[in-house]
Chain A
């Protein structure tokens, strides 16, 4: 297996503020979903990060925002491995690629409403350090001393899956020796009301791949992972399929054509056939159309042999942070030997022809796939494999 090892990761989402807390609740099949605390003219269930996140250090106050606090929280957990990578490879050889769908739009919403009401923005609001997606990269570089290349991928809900493609390219083509990848998105009025306008939100906890699925729940959070050129005993990034649907801005191709192409491409890069895959963490948003299209593609490629789970019932759909979160869940399946229950799947949709796991399963997972699909028909499929 050729691939690049993933040597460290961190998570923060509705399941908890730290990786340990998140994984304990995932293992216990406990949902992080609950009623939305933001003022909305409709009922909504969301996966919100509970409580106040610690503020940024005073020297980084210009970046102060909810997404920056999430990043700061995540960086705090893996500062050691990042420093070790900088030491091993040199700071100029450690790159950073982050995904976000919305950037800091939550801060801009507040600033604009205040501007309309009072003619001025709240103290401390800065579009460039709080709204623009590159602010996250600048903050991570500044706090960790990374001096390699840095960018943000913003392809809506595939953003933080596609950053693994960037890492794979940069390391394979000798741009870098290590890449910090990840993604962050926060709940805000624009996305909640926008998804409601598209009639994609469920007023109940989402039920991916269920006959009773009625839409998605939004979530917030983020994750980081460190991909390196070499390391012993760590699961590897083995393939990254990236395709376009060329069908519709918000609806997937009904036969999952782009999803299928992305999954096949990830397998081809890894030199593996579909029979090698033990587990698929599906995009599985819980909307009727997404799950039908993705189910069709998974059934066509894998039949009902592979164990499929959607983890949106734990975290909600974290948009630009979904890819990194579910990539880490796939890595955990390989490292710890269990796959999560697909919350909400009962009663399963018999028409899909795939095997969605209603309970947590103890099993050896050698190879795991994680899918992320997005507005604009942007598809990414990640393939991870156990240490060689």
Chain B
């Protein structure tokens, strides 16, 4: 029996879309250029990257929608590329006077969002940051399911985000986008059952090719929001995730 958790709340932010409903319904708001990210104190928020702020915004939305306490919920953050804008700023400093900003430096790590979330929320629970190229979404979900199952945790939030591929010498574009799903163990009204991702076929060996590795979850998020099921979603790398039953 594959483990099943219930999607009790969703979060989303991208430029122009303050939440998942706005994105899925195609309601673009040109004024929505910065995530609210109310969890971060103003001083931290001013120094945090867009990737960090939209990741934390998505987690906060998912926590609020599911009634989970941001201080107590274990988290899995995931990103395919990490802190691109901060990296570019550090590279410009290297090319300039060679002096790096200490704040930029510690905010350049892939777990910058996870760390700032933990500090701002006062959250001491297990947390990890998964980086897996095109397979970032299925690997983040797998790690979320496994962490919840191993710890017997009643709930856990998985968040995936990437910001623009800012390096001028790297071809391709990535749309900034963050989403999160709150997964709870106990069945709840209005919370579709989601099964642990399984590998249907070997898709290994190829380096990352997708422009927007974390955006592949959008059809799954749409189905979770609509309460559709049972439905199966193909994810990169031969992975598949199943909404095991319709919203009850």
Contacts and interface: CB of A to CB of B under 8 A. Distances in A.
Interface in B100-146: 100-102, 105-112, 114-116, 118-119, 121-136, 139, 142-143, 146
Given A142-B205, A154-B131, A194-B90, A244 B3 contact: no
B17 to A, nearest CB: 26
B26 interface: no
A194 B105 contact: yes
B94 interface: yes
A179 to B, nearest CB: 12
Interface stretch (B61-69, B162-170, B224-232): B162-170
B187 interface: no
Interface string A147-185: 111111111100000100110111011010000000000
A31 interface: no
A197 B133 contact: no
Interface of A is mostly: helix
19 contacts: A63-B207, A92-B199, A103-B82, A111-B169, A112-B167, A112-B169, A113-B95, A128-B207, A152-B132, A155-B109, A155-B114, A162-B128, A169-B150, A193-B94, A198-B102, A198-B106, A249-B112, A249-B119, A376-B115
B207 A135 contact: yes
Contacts of A109: 91, 94
A195 B100 CA distance: 9
B217 interface: no
Contacts, number: 218
A116 B167 CA distance: 11
B85 interface: no
A198 to B, nearest CB: 5
Contacts of A148: 199
A105 interface: yes
A242 B132 contact: no
A134 B128 contact: no
B81 interface: yes
Contact of B100 (A111, A115, A165, A197): A197
A202 interface: no
A197 B93 CA distance: 12
A197 B150 contact: no
B100 A376 contact: no
B119 A247 contact: yes
Contacts of B170: 127
Interface residues of A, number: 74
Given A155-B114, A378-B115, A112 B95 contact: yes
A376 B119 CA distance: 8
A121 interface: yes
B209 interface: yes
Contacts of B41: none
A174 B207 CA distance: 26
A121 B171 CA distance: 11
B131 A127 contact: no
Q: Give 8 nearest A-B pairs by CB, closest first.
A: A376-B115, A134-B133, A194-B105, A154-B110, A169-B146, A115-B169, A151-B139, A147-B202
Given A151-B131, A153-B129, A243-B124, A248 B119 contact: yes
B81 A249 contact: no
A12 interface: no
Interface string A237-276: 0000011111111100000011001000000000000000
Interface string A105-134: 100110111011000110001011100111
Nearest to A249: B106
A323 interface: no
Nearest to B107: A249
B226 to A, nearest CB: 29
B22 interface: no
B149 interface: yes
B135 A150 contact: yes
A169 B121 CA distance: 26
